[in-house]
Structure 1
Amino acid sequence: MPWSLPITRVTALLLGACTLDLTDPARTGLATDRASYVARYESGQGPYRQFAFTVVARFTNHTAGTLYLGRCYPDSPHPIYGVELVDASRSSWGSAFGPAWACVGHDEQIAVAAGETRVDTLLLRGPNGWDGRTGEVFGAMDGAMRLVYHVQECRGDGACPSARLDGRSNAFTVRVD
């Protein structure tokens, strides 16, 4: 009989089909070169010091069609990216390494053909915002984070976000030295 699976197993199969496995690069498309990074002092003084670390990001198009990665200007060498704090309850501002973007509209996104892998070396800097009176950092400087690319299924500025690839990387940890 085809419906002889126990109801708990059927429920588990259905729930499993609806969840997003952010550890599966075939679903997210994006992976970092390491599981942990150390952010080292780069510039600034007092409470306005900035730290940085380098991430090598690999975006693989696991779909049958071309995907497009948003970029700030038509000739920007790398995609627009965000840095997401995995435990959002740690800071209402998210990750302190999330960059601020001021971009122009265009339709020259980075094309990644089916089966192709794109490698970007990104220098992540933070914090990128402080309270001007207290010097308090906006965002978490350490902990579990993810890199995020905006993945589209067509050209155009913000048009047709991909439903097939999520654009979030594996989680990685950051500590400040």
Structure 2
Amino acid sequence: MGLIGTLMALLFGGGRNAVRETVEVFRPNAEASETRDAARAAAALGQFAAEFALPKRGWFDRAVDGLNRLPRPMLAFGTIGLFVAAMAEPVWFAERMQGIALIPEALWWLMGAIVSFYFGARHQTKNQDFQKDMAGSLALARKIEAAAAQSAGLMAAQQHVAPDANAAVQEWRARHER
């Protein structure tokens, strides 16, 4: 083998590419950088998809959830309607309020307990669902952080020569930084 063949085998042989490895000390590999960026973007999109995904639910669950959303607006609009009725038909309103005044106190206590338990249970359920979703998002974020750390470790392992550990680069910097 001639001198040129030996030189080419030295630069490109043995499964290594000394030129590429040397250039990657000064400039990152564009293809590997794009691959890492694509993996990072895919992981972020996966996290967003998992965070905002709605669970699969049947028609009955959706109907009951819709019915559970009615009491608060009905109470609010009903109260506003009472004000409108009091202004529009004061005699009619006064007759209805006399009927309400005849309701025994025990029924008012029962009504208060039912409304309190309903809204309290709904609040507790929503709060627990929120905490469960937050715990799932936190667990997913930890998995992504671990994958990113592993990716950074692999990237560091792939770089054979760090720029600061290269004696030729240090010598060149020393000459040109004066």
Same fold per TM (> 0.5)?
A: no
User: Larger % of helix: which?
Assistant: 2
Greater strand content: 1
Q: Which has the higher contact order (CA 8 A, sep 6+)?
A: 2
TM range (shorter): under 0.3
TM-score, length basis structure 2: 0.20
Structure number with greater Rg is 2
| TM-score, normalised with respect to structure 1 | 0.20
